[in-house]
Structure 1
Amino acid sequence: MKLRRQLLIVSLVALALPWAGCQYLRQVDNALAQGQMQALEATASAVAARLASAPQLIAPDSERLGRPTGAQLYLNPLPQAPLLDGYGDDWRPLQLPARELLDESGEALAQVTLGQFNDSVYLLLTVADHTPAYQDPRTGLLASGDAIEIHTADRHYTLPVASQGSARALWHNLRRSNHERELRLRGRWTSSARGYQLELVLPYALTGGALSVTVIDRASSGGGPPQRSAGTLPADGLPGRLVQPLEELQAELDQFARPQLRLAVVDSEGFLLASSGKTGMESTEDGQQSWLRSWIYRRLLAREALPAMPENALPPGLTESRRVAQQWFRGPLQSRIGAASVPVITRADAIIERPLLGRVIALQSAEALQSLTESAAHRLWLISCAAAGTALLLLLGYASWLSWRIRRLHRAARNAVDASGKLRGGFPRSRMGDELGALNRAFASLLAELDQYHQYLRTLSGKLSHELRTPLAVVRSSLDNLAASDLDEHSRRYAERAMDGGARLSGILNSLSAASNLEASIQQAEVEDFDLADLLEVLVQSYGDAQPHHRLALDKPPGELPCRGAPELLAQLLDKLVDNACSFAPEGSEVRLSVRREKDSYCLSVENDGPLLPEGYAHKLFDSLVSVRDDGGRAGHLGLGLHIARLIADFHRGRLTAANREDGSGVTFALELPREP
């Protein structure tokens, strides 16, 4: 993996900034939510303390406190009087909570809903009875089939069930000892697929502030005991009290009203007695808040799933205990609504078990806090993304700059030595004070020292040749004098061997001196325009005369081959290559010279049969004092011929290479020669 990509991956750590910001916002959101809930609880506690000091506001009916739980019925305020047709169409848009009536087995037998408009009480009763038994007048009984019983404070009414038509309410007149019809109680029966339904109205004064409803289900219309029954009449036979909103309590509660805060007071059974204010969700319900943005921030803040807030009722979990309760609910469009419930308990010290008068419930939307948190989250997200993006760009730029410096150092190190192994020089030096700058300067110093050592090696042959000539001359003169004297045969043989060795050593020194002088003379050679084809033809003819044991062949394109260079040096280069090829090629084999035109150069090659080049020697052949001949050094080959050939190729800005043939039959030396050196 490249350095730039590595640094880019490391720079992804900058993404931890938005994550840390989200964690911080979660803590802030939780702290704000706790603060809002504590404020709601404090408000509800203040209202509860006021009501506890004035219990007549929340419990004006003294008889209400002593009644058993479940006996009371709630009168819902009605915006208008329903039409008494038995169908209950005017009740459905109001979505009022209905009271379920359970039979002895706990199964729901009926549902009853009560409402009040002006001074009248309206009742909607729906009974689930698949086999209703209607009144049979032939029996002469008050209720021969199913019946509805309504108890008020001082009267007991019986309503025989009919399939359709008006309802008849009968009550027993003790003074006259007969049953009379109550004309002030009017209603209408209708049948349905599940049973039957009754819609009823009576004056509030007729109830006496108390009311109970009982449904009696018989198996047939012939009378007999009830098959099952369900109702709100308690065991003592006294009807429960009617519970309705209290005007004085409402006026007291309005004094605690605040914007976007709803206060509600319920009695001990959860019936709503007064309500003031709104939760502030109207703007949300109107669709002014973006649902998508709310969903994003909810995911961002990792809020837990909340129970839904009932649409037209108070949460039941906040009205069922004597303890302070707190809970968050899910409102419209995934909003949050906080609710705090505080019990209202009388302060009468003489009572051991202080009765629970009711509860104060405070509800408030978290829209304001949510808007504040979402605004902070929006700003934090933008700032974090901008910071992370800036950090990524800076790190990417730094990585690119660092990668560029490393690539430049890599190119300089790769191009410091040419194909022939010679140091080019001019290695760039960095002025930066970091580790890469120090590495660059270390490379430059190392290459400078290597260049000095290379120069020393190149002049070593001339120095050795100069230093060894004088002692070698002394040795040879001494051997000549020794050979001129009288020696026995055994001594003369050793003297001749010493003279042969001295002659060979003298030849080596002459070759070293010639190579050193030739390298200097090459740099001073003059270039000229000449015909390369004519030069090759002349050389091949002379090679044929000089190498009678090999066949020389020339392969060239027709016509002239104009070239610019030093023809004497090129002839010397070809002499070295042909001499090298003939020395390795078997006797009678062909040595082929060929030339072909390229775009801006000529490609000359010398091919011969024979042994292949050893592995790894393709580039070392052109170094000084390198030879692959297997003659033990007796022939006096020092490896200078190909070195001189490479020097001539470098002078012409050419490239000299050696490679084995693809079929493994021999070796090919190729010279790429520019037309304009």
Structure 2
Amino acid sequence: MKLKRQLMAASLFMLALPWAGCQYVREAESALRAGQLQSLEATGQAINSLLAQQEWGLVTKASTDGAEPLFAPERPWIAILDGYLDEWQSMPARRLENGEFAADLRMFTRGDKLYLHVSVEDSERSYFDPMRGIANNGDHIVLRSGNGIDYRLAASAPGQLIARYQSGNRTLYEREIAGYWLETQQGYHLEAVVPLALLKGKLGLYAVNASAIASDNAYLSHYNFSDQQPPRLITTRVDLERTLALFQQPSLKLSVIDSQGWHRASVGELASYQYGPARTTTSHGALKALYRAILETPPAPPSNSSQLFGQEKTAPILAAINGQTAAGWYRQPHSSERSLVSAAIPIKKQVVSAQNGSGELKSDDVQYGVLLLEQSSESYLSLTDRAFSKLFLSSTIALLIGAAGLFGYVSWLSWRIRRLNRSTQSAVDHQGNFSSTFKPSRTSDEIGDLSRGFGELLNRVQQYTNYLQTLSRKLSHELRTPLAVVHSSLDNLSMSNGDKQEREMYQKRAKEGANRLSSLLTAMSEASRLEESIKHGDQEIEAIDLNLMFREVIAAYKDVYTQHNLMLSECEQPLVANIAPELLVQLTDKLVDNAASFAPEGSDIKIRLSRNSNKVELRIENTGPRLPEAMQHQLFDNMVSVREKEKSDGGSHLGLGLHIVKLIADFHGAAVTANNLEDGSGVAFTLVIPIDDNKHA
């Protein structure tokens, strides 16, 4: 894979930016939700403080006779008494079934009136006969009030119905009850309005299905009929709703529930809420769907264990009835997108009572209801929705800018690398000739360092190649002279007239030429043999006193290099180091020989030993030509020579001596350098050897 594609693939890590943004939005949404829950609970506590100041009649008892209470919520409209279901469609129905027929009951209150609608399924309908008594007379609905009076709602024909009740032996009409009877294909509809004062807080309702009279006795079918007291009629309290309305807020629904789970008051709606005036600031549908997908999915609303309309027995409500505050976050009923936060708070009232046997007073918290607060999450979701939209837009722009910048940078980087590759390839042609077209980069980055490294490498290869190209000429020159000496000596020896002294002279010259050839061959193989010896660890390390060793070595050098003055400056401190003596002497041989070959005859060669902390420094100085600036760092490379011409002393100089010095220095962990003297009069070679006094014997 090319570098551009690799870097573009690596740029995919930039996708961590929108991921981190989504995590931030998710955490922000969670924090806002927690804040909304805290605010909801604080509002609930404030409402509780107000509700606890008076009695609201919220303590009720569960039914023990199986007669379930009927619930009629307060509604703000008046129904037109025409028997039709148009106004009642939004009201849930309570289903009444009894085998032969069924009925749907809907009820609500408005002020002091109870409105009810009964849809009866009856295949055989019979109407009230005015010529007979009210008992067992046609199909009709019976309303039993709390004082035991049965109000029979019947009609002689479709239209206005009449409410009658029995008082002793008399049949009386109840003028305050009005209604309408509407015949349908399935049966009939009965719609009526009843004053709540007549019912006395209870309502027993049953339908009488009378077939055609076959004898003196009519066949009757009853629903919800009992000779016992009728069930309670649960209604919402308008005064309690007015109190709750003081705390009404947008998208906030407040409900008060009694001790049996019946709704007694409710204000507000869980409508969607838009923060601020900006319907135009909402995000696009696709973006909103993406935002909602990122957020946590709210759990389903708690299930209601009661099947009765108006009664709620969910887990939070039951917990609050038992005195524990329950808060949660749920999906709104009948909506898969919206969510709500809910808090069920116990309504407690402090009751003061006296202790038995003492005059001390004590106060107890008496629980008598539940305050349920529900608020749509759209209020804060609209905030995070807009924040997510801005974040998504800014992240997208940042990604595009980053991708464009990265693509441009990668293209520029690839162009520089390709240019470096072309320059490197064009520096050497197919014949191995070097050109001067390679120009190292001046930039300070890694590619610039690589370019300069290539330039230095090419220069060294060029110098090494030039040396190899001139090596044959050097070898030819070096070998031709001793061979000519050998040949001429042998020719003269064969033509000699037998003079012993003359023959010995020719033999000596031939031997000298052969020895010179041998030294040339030895110099060529010396470096490789030394490197192999070091690699296989053939050298023994000993603790040697360098002052003593160099004193003896320099004394021997004075006999060899008689044309120069060798001067040794010893160190006053002990210089005991763990070294390979033979190798270090060989290194000194090369350095002294190199100094003698360049120093003028009669000049001084200074050898100085010194110690600096845990290092020993050997410095050899000689007067003579300076080192070329371009070659100072390449002197110790293999087969590199800076000699312009060879001396006539018969020595061989193939550029291997200083390379051997470098091999020996590396073996000892030492550093060797070559520098021109500060006054420009010559050259100094410095060897720095580390020593460890703890290892000395």
TM normalised by structure 2 equals: 0.57
Matched-pair contact (CA < 8 Å) for 1:163–1:196: no
- Superposition map of 1:207-356 within 5 A: 207-217=199-209, 222=214, 226=220, 229-231=222-224, 236-241=228-233, 243-247=235-239, 249-258=240-249, 261-277=252-268, 281=272, 283=274, 289-290=282-283, 292=285, 293-304=287-298, 307=301, 317=314, 319=317, 322=321, 323-327=324-328, 328-330=330-332, 334-348=337-351
**Root mean square deviation of aligned Cα:** 4.5
Structure 1 equivalent of residue 13 of structure 2 = 13
Where 2:188 maps in the other structure, the secondary structure is strand
Distance (whole Å) between structure 1 residues aligned to residue 464 and residue 124 of structure 2: 121
Deviations 1:562-621 (A, max 9, x none): xxxxxxxxxxxxxxxxxxxxxxxxxxxxxxxxxxxxxxxxxxxxxxxxxxxxxxxxxxxx
Instruction: Return closer, same or farther for 1:326/1:333 CA change in 2, 3 Å cut-off.
Output: same
Matched-pair contact (CA < 8 Å) for 2:298–2:331: no
Matched-pair contact (CA < 8 Å) for 2:263–2:312: no
Structure 2 equivalent of residue 408 of structure 1 = 419
- Superposition map of 1:70-219 within 5 A: 70-80=68-78, 82-92=79-89, 95-101=90-96, 103=98, 109-117=102-110, 119-129=112-122, 131-132=123-124, 134-135=126-127, 142-143=135-136, 146-154=139-147, 155-159=149-153, 164-174=158-168, 177-217=169-209
2:373 is the alignment partner of 1:362: yes
Distance (whole Å) between structure 2 residues aligned to residue 225 and residue 348 of structure 1: 55
Where 2:427 maps in the other structure, the secondary structure is coil
Matched-pair contact (CA < 8 Å) for 1:76–1:244: yes
Distance (whole Å) between structure 2 residues aligned to residue 145 and residue 355 of structure 1: 51
- Superposition map of 1:17-56 within 5 A: 17-55=17-55
Deviations 1:288-338 (A, max 9, x none): 64571432321233443655999x999874655615333434387934332
Distance (whole Å) between structure 1 residues aligned to residue 32 and residue 57 of structure 2: 36
Distance (whole Å) between structure 2 residues aligned to residue 394 and residue 338 of structure 1: 45
Give, in angstroms, the shift of residue 409 of structure 1. 2.5
2:467 is the alignment partner of 1:456: yes
Instruction: Return closer, same or farther for 1:142/1:357 CA change in 2, 3 Å cut-off.
Output: same
Distance (whole Å) between structure 1 residues aligned to residue 101 and residue 495 of structure 2: 149
Give, in angstroms, the shift of residue 150 of structure 1. 0.8
Instruction: Return closer, same or farther for 1:413/1:308 CA change in 2, 3 Å cut-off.
Output: farther
Distance (whole Å) between structure 1 residues aligned to residue 420 and residue 196 of structure 2: 102
Deviations 1:541-562 (A, max 9, x none): xxxxxxxxxxxxxxxxxxxxxx
Distance (whole Å) between structure 1 residues aligned to residue 445 and residue 478 of structure 2: 48
Where 2:23 maps in the other structure, the secondary structure is helix
Distance (whole Å) between structure 1 residues aligned to residue 48 and residue 256 of structure 2: 9
Distance (whole Å) between structure 2 residues aligned to residue 6 and residue 195 of structure 1: 80
Where 1:399 maps in the other structure, the secondary structure is helix
Deviations 1:348-392 (A, max 9, x none): 477999986433222333333223323333343344445544544
Instruction: Return closer, same or farther for 1:117/1:426 CA change in 2, 3 Å cut-off.
Output: closer
Instruction: Return closer, same or farther for 1:291/1:399 CA change in 2, 3 Å cut-off.
Output: closer
Instruction: Return closer, same or farther for 1:23/1:309 CA change in 2, 3 Å cut-off.
Output: farther
One-letter code aligned to 1:2:
K
Instruction: Return closer, same or farther for 1:356/1:329 CA change in 2, 3 Å cut-off.
Output: farther
Instruction: Return closer, same or farther for 1:265/1:86 CA change in 2, 3 Å cut-off.
Output: same
One-letter code aligned to 1:330:
Q
Matched-pair contact (CA < 8 Å) for 1:267–1:357: yes
Matched-pair contact (CA < 8 Å) for 1:100–1:108: no
Instruction: Return closer, same or farther for 1:123/1:466 CA change in 2, 3 Å cut-off.
Output: closer
Where 1:77 maps in the other structure, the secondary structure is coil
Matched-pair contact (CA < 8 Å) for 1:115–1:122: yes
Where 1:412 maps in the other structure, the secondary structure is helix
Instruction: Return closer, same or farther for 1:240/1:460 CA change in 2, 3 Å cut-off.
Output: closer
Where 2:74 maps in the other structure, the secondary structure is strand
One-letter code aligned to 2:83:
G
Give, in angstroms, the shift of residue 33 of structure 1. 0.6
Provide structure 1 residue ranges, at least 5 long, that are not aligned to the other structure.
Answer: 486-677
Distance (whole Å) between structure 2 residues aligned to residue 291 and residue 162 of structure 1: 62
Distance (whole Å) between structure 2 residues aligned to residue 133 and residue 445 of structure 1: 115
Deviations 1:63-87 (A, max 9, x none): x66866832431533423x332222
Matched-pair contact (CA < 8 Å) for 2:117–2:192: yes
Give, in angstroms, the shift of residue 40 of structure 1. 1.0
- Give the share of equivalent positions with the same residue, in percent: 34
1:442 to 444, 448, 453: 453
Matched-pair contact (CA < 8 Å) for 1:263–1:361: yes
Where 1:187 maps in the other structure, the secondary structure is strand
Matched-pair contact (CA < 8 Å) for 1:146–1:221: no
Matched-pair contact (CA < 8 Å) for 2:180–2:191: yes
Distance (whole Å) between structure 2 residues aligned to residue 306 and residue 313 of structure 1: 20
Give, in angstroms, the shift of residue 156 of structure 1. 0.8
One-letter code aligned to 1:250:
E
Distance (whole Å) between structure 2 residues aligned to residue 354 and residue 40 of structure 1: 22
One-letter code aligned to 2:180:
R
2:373 is the alignment partner of 1:375: no
Matched-pair contact (CA < 8 Å) for 2:72–2:109: no
One-letter code aligned to 2:44:
A
TM normalised by structure 1 equals: 0.58
Provide structure 2 residue ranges, at least 5 long, that are not aligned to the other structure.
Answer: 355-362, 497-697
Give, in angstroms, the shift of residue 16 of structure 1. 0.9
Where 1:441 maps in the other structure, the secondary structure is helix
Matched-pair contact (CA < 8 Å) for 1:187–1:201: yes
Distance (whole Å) between structure 1 residues aligned to residue 271 and residue 26 of structure 2: 23
Matched-pair contact (CA < 8 Å) for 1:260–1:280: yes
Matched-pair contact (CA < 8 Å) for 1:159–1:168: yes
